[in-house]
Amino acid sequence: MTETFHYPFIARVVTAVKAVLLTVIAFHYIITSLLLAPFRLGGRYLNTISGLFGRQMLWACGGKAEIEGLENLDPKKTYVFVGNHQSYADIFLLQAALSKLRMKTLFIIKKELFRIPLFKPMSKQMGLIAVEREDSRQSMKAITASLKLLKRGKSIAVFPEGSRSYDAELQPFKRGGFLLVELTGLEIAPFVIAGTFNIFPRKPFIIRGGPCKISFLKPIAAGQYKSKELAQIVEVMIKEKYPSEKAYIDAKWENK
């Protein structure tokens, strides 16, 4: 369901209130991160703050999450999580879901977000890795940093589409994130997200409460595949699963 958004006065007021609430929650975590940064706390803190942040931000957006497929994951393993990118709310949903398994999971995000005042220290505390999409040298630095973290047993989550969807439809996958799998031989854990586009679309600026869902598919071993082949295999898996997930969530939006 690609929806034409009606933007009456009441919707603007609700969006403004939610935006303030999201800002307050984010500011709280920024201050907490700044205060605790000198102590260099490890994975347990990272896991706790990331999960709490995701759940509270999703709550502030009004998102009602369904999580499927956690039984496919082994909390003791290290994965490269790969999935579609609908909205800023995707990160909140993924953080909330993975915190249930207490997995040490880091995210690769675009470097532009680090320009937001005080966002950088919080991002480092929460394990976010910046990547400059248009600069191949900087991208390689991000991959190198990711490799070091993967070797320490921390999983990485990437959105291979590279940016949020404009219309809730899937975009072509880029192979950058799959280089991590090719270089490490770790398993890929694909996931499919639906509904977050309706909650927090790319345009217009509106935040609406409603259902969303994340489904974790069965992990696949990299084997002898090259990154380009891996990107194609995972893209097909997600494209096969996404229409049914989208239809399921769209029906819930129509009936809410």
Which single residue is written with the structure tokens 């009936």? 255
Which single residue is written with the structure tokens 């995000």? 109
The span from the CA of 42 to the CA of 152, in Å, is 12
233 falls within a domain: yes
Looking up residue 172, the CATH number of its domain turns out to be 3.40.1130.10
* Per-residue pLDDT tens over the stretch 144-181: 766 676 777 778 888 988 888 888 899 998 877 788 78
210 falls within a domain: yes
Residues with Cβ within 8 Å of residue 59, at least 6 apart in sequence: none
Respond yes or no on whether the N-terminal peptide bond of residue 204 is cis (omega within 30° of 0).
Answer: yes
65 falls within a domain: yes
Query: How high is the pLDDT of residue 235?
Result: 94
Is the per-residue pLDDT at 117 higher than 60? no
Which of 122, 116, 110, 102 minimizes the C-alpha distance to 37? Answer: 122
Which of 67, 101, 70, 100 minimizes the C-alpha distance to 195? Answer: 67
HSE-CB for 203 with a 13 A CA cutoff: 2
* Per-residue pLDDT tens over the stretch 141-152: 666 766 676 777
Contact 186, 78 (CB under 8 A): yes
1 falls within a domain: no
The span from the CA of 217 to the CA of 237, in Å, is 9
138 falls within a domain: yes
Q: Could you list the residue range(s) of the whole structural domain that residue 167 is in?
A: 9-255
Which of 176, 190, 177 minimizes the C-alpha distance to 221? Answer: 190
4 falls within a domain: no
For strands 187-194 and 210-216, give the pairing. antiparallel
**What is the dihedral angle through the alpha carbons of 185, 130, 144, 96, rounded to the nearest 10 degrees?**
-30
Total count of domains within the chain: 1
Query: How high is the pLDDT of residue 122?
Result: 59
Which single residue is written with the structure tokens 């937001």? 116
What are the φ/ψ torsions at residue 196 (nearest 5 degrees)? -70, -25
In which band, very low, low, confident or very high, does the pLDDT at 109 lie, cut at 50, 70 and 90? low
Mean pLDDT of 213-236: 89
Is the per-residue pLDDT at 212 higher than 80? yes
19 falls within a domain: yes
3 falls within a domain: no
